Structure 1
Amino acid sequence: MHANQTTLENLYLAFSQLDADGMAACYADSARFEDEAFSLRGKHEVAGMWRMLCSATLTGNRADWRLTWRDVQADAQTGQTHWEAYYRFSATKRLVHNIVDANFTFDDEGRILTHHDRFNFWRWSWKALGMPGLVLGWSPMFRKQVRKQARANLDRFLAKNTALEAA
């Protein structure tokens, strides 16, 4: 097994345990993350997103949380995996099963440099948001609004937690 495959196994093991610090340790300082909701630059933002998501699950909906992953492959430059998350979306309290394919690149130290998650946004929005997601989830305007809200939530989380760390 290539060391970068171990990095991915460590990432998803930490994620399954909602261990955001363990996840953060897998990323390079200049990491980039992309999915349907986020476009993040730097380990501070990427780790902050995982901390926000893990915190929301730990404080509100831990009993509903489950993560599975498979098909983990990696070499010196790239990697990929398939993962599925089962959780209760905090904003609506709706149960979600999200099916994700992820692609990665690595730095020379075996840390994740780029992470790109792909999933069916319409399916996710239907499960997470109910009727609005079912009716509007296909719309680029709706996707843009979801991204804007996700970014605002992350900015608030980072500001609050940076203030707490500084205190």
Structure 2
Amino acid sequence: MHPNEELIQKFYTAFQNKDGQTMVSLYHPEVEFHDPAFGHLKGKEAGAMWLMLLERSQNLTIRFSNIKADDTKGSANWEADYNFSKTGRTIHNRINANFTFKDGKILTHKDHFSMWKWLGMAMGPVGYFLGWWPALGNKVRKEAVTGLQLYMKRKRM
């Protein structure tokens, strides 16, 4: 197995074990993360996001597969099952992740999933009918980033 495949596997195994500190330790200090829910996060924000999500998660189950990597880039598929804290609704999210590496760490991490499907699961009929509307996705992103900033302030990060 390529060392960067092992790095990705270690990241998702830590996620399964709710070990946020290990996840953060696998990120390069200059890491850049992107997904539809949080948008673009850099450095400490990216690591803090995982710590916050793990701290707040209820009934979180993670599965991962199809890890591939070489010296410069990698990818994996992962799935998350959990209850969305604001509505209590069950989420089953399927994510495709892409990575780049530097100095034996993850430098970029981009998660791709359908925001429309996620909004439908999280918000029910309103999410299904309005999930395509960019303003709803922007509202969710703004709330996610605001929550992350408050979390980081509270934890003195």
CA drift of 1:130 comes to: 1.6
What SS does structure 2 have at the residue aligned with 1:134?
Answer: helix
Structure 1: which 4+ aligned runs deviate by more than 2 Å?
none
* Structure with more helix by fraction: 1
Q: Which residue of structure 2 lines up, in the alignment, with residue 118 of structure 1? A: 112
Q: Which residue of structure 2 lines up, in the alignment, with residue 16 of structure 1? A: 16
- Matching of residues 61-140 of structure 1 within 5 Å: 61=58, 64-107=59-102, 109-140=103-134
Report the RMSD for the aligned CA atoms in angstroms.
1.0
- Which deviations, in whole Å up to 9, do the C-alpha atoms of 1:65-85 show, x marking residues without a partner? 211100000111000000000
- Which deviations, in whole Å up to 9, do the C-alpha atoms of 1:11-66 show, x marking residues without a partner? 00000111110100110000000000111011x10110000000001xxx2xx221
> Between the two proteins, what is the percent identity of the paired residues?
38
What SS does structure 1 have at the residue aligned with 2:36?
Answer: coil
CA drift of 1:132 comes to: 2.2
- Measured in 2, the distance between the counterparts of 1:106 and 1:32 equals 11
- Tell me the number of residue pairs that the alignment of Structure 1 and Structure 2 aligns: 156
Normalised by the size of structure 1, how large is the TM-score? 0.91
Unaligned segments of structure 2, at least 5 residues: none
Unaligned segments of structure 1, at least 5 residues: none
- Measured in 1, the distance between the counterparts of 2:130 and 2:150 equals 26
CA drift of 1:126 comes to: 0.6
- Measured in 2, the distance between the counterparts of 1:120 and 1:17 equals 25
